[in-house]
Amino acid sequence: MNGVLAGIIWALAPTVLVGLVFWIVMRAVVRADRSERKAYAKVEAQERARRGLPHKS
């Protein structure tokens, strides 16, 4: 029984690890996108204020 359990763990480990790496990478991409959009909105608001344009809704 011990050999069967070890085989199951070794069979599932690569899938679990790849899934974990994928989750970490996607989380980083989503956070980077969120930060980039926030920075872009800030720059756009500054430019609109500098040019005297109305605030974008």
pLDDT in tens, 11-54: 999 999 999 999 999 999 999 999 999 999 999 999 999 998 88
**Which range of residues forms the domain containing residue 41?**
21-57
Asked, for residue 53, whether it belongs to a domain, the answer is yes
- The answer to whether position 10 is within a domain reads no
For residue 9, tell me if it sits in a domain. no
What confidence tier does 1 reach under pLDDT thresholds 50, 70, 90?
confident
Q: What's the total number of domains in the chain?
A: 1
Residue 21 to residue 24: CA distance in whole angstroms: 5
Q: Which residue has the tokens 């070890």?
A: 6
Number of alpha carbons in the 13 Å side-chain half-sphere of residue 10: 6
